[in-house]
């Protein structure tokens, strides 16, 4: 239901995993933490950045064709499998990342011989469908997930999810000695990691925006834009830089005076104090 609320707001979580990001509050109820990789998808149907924790990443992330909210359903399927089967469905935690990715892309989902819950198997098979268009929940249907037979076998009276949302059910486990409400819970190390992840995500967003603008600057795919051309374009925009500032910024990255490549274009955007996205929007015209 936490993911459902995010999806209703048009946000892909992109890093669903147990222990680190799915935790219990002081009363024993589940909560999500660490939104450093969350992506606002309201203005786009797909994104292409390769982010997440490899064990829980959907196959479409690795093949570069773009993905949307449906990747969170895959991660949910991995978590369900891990909880009921006691291991990962593809690869193992001691394997190299390349081996994990190969397993996700190539291996067929299989269950331990002793696991014979047909409802559970069906739920996981549908959540872990490698075709995102056929994956359970992919058509904005959390209702389909919540109404699955697997969740009707809990023995609870009434709707399970309504009871959980209303905190009508007693949690099976309550953390001892955890005080989540105190700022001390966020150690300096954890805070730095969150900041670094957020910074990495912002850098990825900037690069995506820069790629779109670069295609307009270099329509023939030559890989280089003349420095004078970029200076002239920047001077014609309303990006709050005067000509001397623009010259100085461009010269700082075009050290060989042989033009601006995409790499140096990104360096120009990152090393200056200007609003990089505002500059890109101005260049888009």
Q: Active-site residues: which are they?
A: 15
Report the distance separating Cα 238 and Cα 280, nearest Å: 11
Backbone torsion region of residue 223, taken as left when φ is above 0, otherwise alpha when ψ lies between -120 and 50, otherwise beta = left
Please tell me the total number of residues recorded for the chain in this structure: 285
| Local structure of residue 186 (DSSP, 8 states) | S
**What b/e sequence results for 106-118 when a residue is b if at least 16 CB atoms lie within 10 Å of its CB, and e otherwise?**
eeeeebeeeeeee
Cα 222 from chain centre:
32
Report the distance separating Cα 30 and Cα 79, nearest Å: 14
On whether the CB atoms of residues 239 and 282 are closer than 8 A, the answer is: yes
Q: Which long-range contacts (CB under 8 A, 24 or more apart) does 256-264 make?
A: 257/227, 258/224, 259/224, 259/225, 259/226, 259/227, 260/224, 260/225, 260/226, 260/227, 260/230, 261/223, 261/224, 262/210, 262/211, 262/214, 262/218, 262/223
């Amino acid at each position: 239901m936490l993911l459902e609320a995010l999806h209703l707001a048009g946000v892909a979580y992109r890093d669903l995993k147990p222990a680190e990001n799915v935790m219990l509050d002081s009363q024993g109820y589940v909560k999500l933490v660490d939104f450093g990789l969350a992506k606002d998808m309201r203005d786009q149907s797909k994104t292409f950045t390769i982010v997440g924790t490899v064990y829980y990443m959907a196959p479409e992330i690795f093949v570069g064709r773009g993905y949307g909210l449906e990747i969170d359903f895959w991660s949910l399927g991995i978590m369900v499998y891990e909880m009921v089967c006691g291991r990962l469905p593809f690869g193992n935690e001691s394997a190299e990342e390349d081996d994990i990715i190969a397993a996700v892309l190539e291996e067929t989902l299989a269950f331990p011989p002793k696991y014979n819950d047909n409802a559970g198997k069906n739920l996981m098979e549908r959540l872990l469908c490698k075709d995102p268009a056929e994956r359970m929940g992919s058509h904005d249907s959390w209702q389909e997930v919540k109404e699955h037979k697997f969740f009707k076998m809990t023995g609870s009276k009434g709707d399970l999810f309504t009871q959980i949302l209303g905190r009508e059910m007693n949690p099976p486990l309550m953390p001892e000695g955890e005080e989540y409400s105190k700022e001390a819970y966020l150690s300096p190390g954890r805070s730095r990691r969150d900041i670094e992840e957020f910074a990495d995500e912002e850098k990825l967003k900037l690069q995506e925006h820069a790629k779109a603008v670069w295609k307009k600057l270099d329509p023939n795919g030559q890989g280089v834009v003349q420095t004078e051309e970029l200076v002239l374009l920047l001077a014609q925009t309303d990006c709050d830089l005067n000509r001397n500032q623009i010259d100085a910024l461009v010269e700082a990255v075009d050290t060989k005076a042989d033009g601006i490549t995409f790499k140096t274009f990104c360096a120009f955007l990152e090393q200056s104090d200007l609003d990089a996205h505002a500059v890109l929007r101005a260049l888009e015209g």
